[in-house]
Structure 1
Amino acid sequence: MLLRWPHGLEQGLDRIRAEREDGRAWKLSVALGPIYKEIFDRLSDPAYQFVRDAIERYILDKWEAPLALRHKRLHVDAITEHRWLPVEAAASRMNLRVAVVSRAAEAGEVHCRDQVYPSGRVARVVEISSLQAIADKLHSAVSVEEAARKLGLSKNRVVELIHAGFLKIWGGQPQAGAPWFIAQNGIQDLLRPASDVSLQKQIKNTQISFSQLMRCVAREDGIFRKILTASINGTIGISGVGNSDRRICDWIFERVLVKSLLDSSTPTSASEVGVVEAAHALGVKQEVVYALVQQQVIKSRIRNINGRQTRFVRLSDLEAFREKYVFGRELAISLHCSPKSLASVLSRSGIAAFGGPTSTTRPCRQYYWLRSSKLEAYLAQTADPTQSDLPKPDALPE
């Protein structure tokens, strides 16, 4: 360890921690073993101060665990300058709520380490400099309610903007009942297109406000995001604002430009079909298609047809489904086996259905499988009579 000082010491301590079963423990004497006590107790003479200083530098650089404030062997400066703090201490230092720091750590926005004790208790430390880098942004984050007030939108619309990537959040998606932490700069970016638009007290007959437009097409899937995107990039432009707050709900557009945008977003009848036609194209019942749509295995959109909300599926999305998935009926024909026994046969080979009647996550009236390389290999091997180690499918009755 004394060779190439102090690198030799650091490498030696790294090696000791790697070889010790408790090398990742959060107690220095446990993680470093007997050498820790030897250096601080046996080498207490002032002549060995350079060794203790090297150990303290190593701890500051490499020790990813908390240090007790009452630590007797380390200098006070080494303890106060230590980068890894418990969540509560880090939150107090940055004047943040503990829940905010914990959520940021869970979302990977700050560096953290967890320690699970035999009792099951989990302790967490965070790296203070990574928290300090985003502390100001966490302080300025707003709730869904506040964001909705600033933007002039409903809370559901704000959540939709979050999922669509228009708004950045801190701490990841919250659990039920927990608040969102929405970045303030995302709200400012959304309102920026109307910052230089003139105030307009009355809406002309050739114009329509954003709130009026949403009442007309509110339930149509994707239209809200499309109109907002076109407003931001200048495709339809903002003619005026009806309020000095310049909120999104008060933006005013020219009707002819909005109509042109909506017409361009409506696919031709030749490129999409209804659920009934989609079921017929796949050779399944409507309930199967509805289940696949609900699971987002097949993408769909809602269009307003004569005041009635109707769901449509693009033909390209049906083709994408065929390329990625296969129904049990088709597999049964390929394997010359009974559709009823197909799921158990494939399961014995480690090929689970992606969804089906017995699936808890993707319930569906019919089994369907992902066209994985494992499934393709099974089909190829089953077709080869020389393969004898595969589970044999049940033959169809004569």
Structure 2
Amino acid sequence: MSAILEALLLGRNEDAVPVPLAGLDVEQVQRLIRYLGGYLDPASGSKPLKLRNAGRMEVSWPVTSLAAEILHQWPVAFHDSLSRLQEASVGKKLGLQGLFKQAYFYLCKGLKESAFAPVRDAFDTWVVAYAKTGVSKRNRRLVEALLENVTWIPGNVAARKLSVSPARIRYLVQEGVLEGQESFSTTGRRFLVVRNDKLAAVSQHIAAEMDMTSAMAALGLGKVRMRQLLKLLFPTARRVTDRASMLWAIPRSEVEQLLAIGAGLPVVSIPEESQWSVAHALQFWNLDAEEVVALVEIVKAGKLKPLALDSSARGIGRWVFEINQLKSWRRSLQHAPSDWLSIPDTAIAMNSRQDVTYWLVNNHFLHAERLPKVKGIGCRIRRSEIEAFKAQYVFATEVATQLKVSSKKLRQLLAERNIHPISGNGMDQCRQLFYARTQNLAAVIAEYSGCQGNEFSLTEASCRSPPRSNT
């Protein structure tokens, strides 16, 4: 530092002078050194420029040493010092003035001469790359072009750029799709900042989904019918947040897949007398949700192909079929087993009680699609879910019937082989016992399936022979 100051004051070897000191006079050099060594020291007091006995070595040494370290590695050390001051206030909602206090004010007012422009430029560079305070246009000390390039921006600004709600921004941060940091003000208000340079990728993520209103308009369905069909047509649809009042996010590709059906067909303004559009059938046939889903599935499978598209309808309502085709399909649907079952129907299909089926759904052994505002049906279960459950588990009553023992005795006997039910214990257990289909259980069933009920014991290697008669 002394060599640099000597070269600066005597005008020798000016190329060795660091950028912030170039062009400064003696008084300006002193102000800059005291600023860097005082305000950028996290341990400094509220008024670091006021030094008592500044001429003494033990007082001036810490200030000049820190300033020399920053100037020697300019601007990296300057940015590191600002970052350390920012880390000391993590979790607090502070602007630049609240974060750096007088250090920010003195930079703008005390070092306002043009000779200090490299220092202010280095500070602006740090704000663009590292500041997490969420700078805004109200800060007139920052040029507007700089605000467009900052790395961290407020969450509400990001919401306006992406055309989504601030709640959606918070949910994207919780999902890990968008990097963000939340702080709290002294009054308890939350303040979120997010990465500005990640918004382009997030915009593509949002574009891959559409809300229920947009999907409803694209498919040509009413609001009530769309609510009934949403989870049945699009099982991967989800709320954008955990709150029930938030918007739905539907995969755009699945909606476009339906809209692409019949893309090359002729478009007619008025179908033939022997033809009906799906929109006409929805209006006059009063198709329920299950029938609409079955129609969409059979069309997607190519088993029922539309003949044309109705120009007066939208979405799937544009599909035109022969009336006899639709009538024949509907009659076959009435005799075919339904792919979706209610809780009572599921209980019958599984040979169990309704309360057992509810327990299986609530404890995630069976996946059910809940259908709000559908009278008489709270949720529906696919037949494939029932088959998957039967492939993994077996009810104790089924095993007991096969081995010709009671369910209570079966549980005791299987416990001797360290085979226990997975239907819970205590007050929360299922009212009907069931076991996982394991090799041990299969071996036990195969070993003792031929035994009589009074001869059955899992502790023996084989069935006991009945006692011989003396006669």
The change in CA–CA distance for 1:59 and 1:138 in structure 2 (over 3 A counts) is same
**Would you say the 8 A contact 2:231–2:237 is kept in 1?**
no
- Specify the alignment match of 1:298 in structure 2: 366
1:58 Cα deviation from its structure 2 partner:
1.0
Query: Over aligned residue pairs, what C-alpha RMSD do you find?
Result: 5.5
Distance 1:78 1:208 in 2: 57
Larger Rg: 2
**Would you say the 8 A contact 1:292–1:298 is kept in 2?**
yes
- Specify the alignment match of 1:347 in structure 2: none
Distance 2:273 2:184 in 1: 62
- Specify the alignment match of 1:114 in structure 2: 182
1:153 aligns with 2:221: yes
Secondary structure of the equivalent of 1:123?
A: strand
Secondary structure of the equivalent of 1:153?
A: coil
Distance 1:226 1:298 in 2: 22
1:187 Cα deviation from its structure 2 partner:
5.4
Superposed CA offset, 1:204-235 (max 9, x none):
48x88476489587354xx6446435535645
**Would you say the 8 A contact 1:168–1:186 is kept in 2?**
no
1:195 Cα deviation from its structure 2 partner:
3.5
Q: Given the alignment, which residue of 250, 253, 275 partners 2:347? A: 275
Secondary structure of the equivalent of 1:194?
A: coil
Q: Given the alignment, which residue of 122, 142, 146 partners 1:78? A: 146
Superposed CA offset, 1:147-196 (max 9, x none):
43542323244346654685998982585566658798875553232333
- Specify the alignment match of 2:78 in structure 1: 9
1:114 Cα deviation from its structure 2 partner:
2.9
Q: Given the alignment, which residue of 147, 165, 168 partners 1:104? A: 168
- Specify the alignment match of 1:218 in structure 2: 288
Amino acid paired to 2:347: V
- Specify the alignment match of 1:375 in structure 2: none
- Specify the alignment match of 1:245 in structure 2: 313
Distance 2:355 2:387 in 1: 20
Name the TM-score, length of structure 1 as normaliser: 0.56
Q: Given the alignment, which residue of 118, 123, 130 partners 1:55? A: 123
The change in CA–CA distance for 1:105 and 1:311 in structure 2 (over 3 A counts) is closer
Aligned residues between the structures: 321
Superposed CA offset, 1:359-395 (max 9, x none):
xxxxx6579999xxxxxxxxxxxxxxxxxxxxxxxxx
1:316 aligns with 2:394: no
Distance 1:192 1:59 in 2: 48
Distance 2:144 2:315 in 1: 52
Unaligned stretches of 5+ in structure 1? 302-308, 324-328, 345-352, 358-363, 371-398
Unaligned stretches of 5+ in structure 2? 1-69, 340-344, 370-376, 395-407, 437-471
Secondary structure of the equivalent of 1:51?
A: helix
The change in CA–CA distance for 1:211 and 1:127 in structure 2 (over 3 A counts) is farther
**Would you say the 8 A contact 1:167–1:182 is kept in 2?**
no
Distance 2:76 2:97 in 1: 21
**Would you say the 8 A contact 2:240–2:246 is kept in 1?**
no
Percent identity over the alignment is 19
**Would you say the 8 A contact 1:138–1:170 is kept in 2?**
no
1:121 Cα deviation from its structure 2 partner:
1.7
1:202 aligns with 2:266: no
**Would you say the 8 A contact 1:148–1:154 is kept in 2?**
yes
Amino acid paired to 2:356: V
1:60 Cα deviation from its structure 2 partner:
0.8
Distance 2:84 2:153 in 1: 25
Superposed CA offset, 1:118-148 (max 9, x none):
4322233455565577789989x98745643
Q: Given the alignment, which residue of 227, 231, 234 partners 2:299? A: 231
- Specify the alignment match of 1:384 in structure 2: none
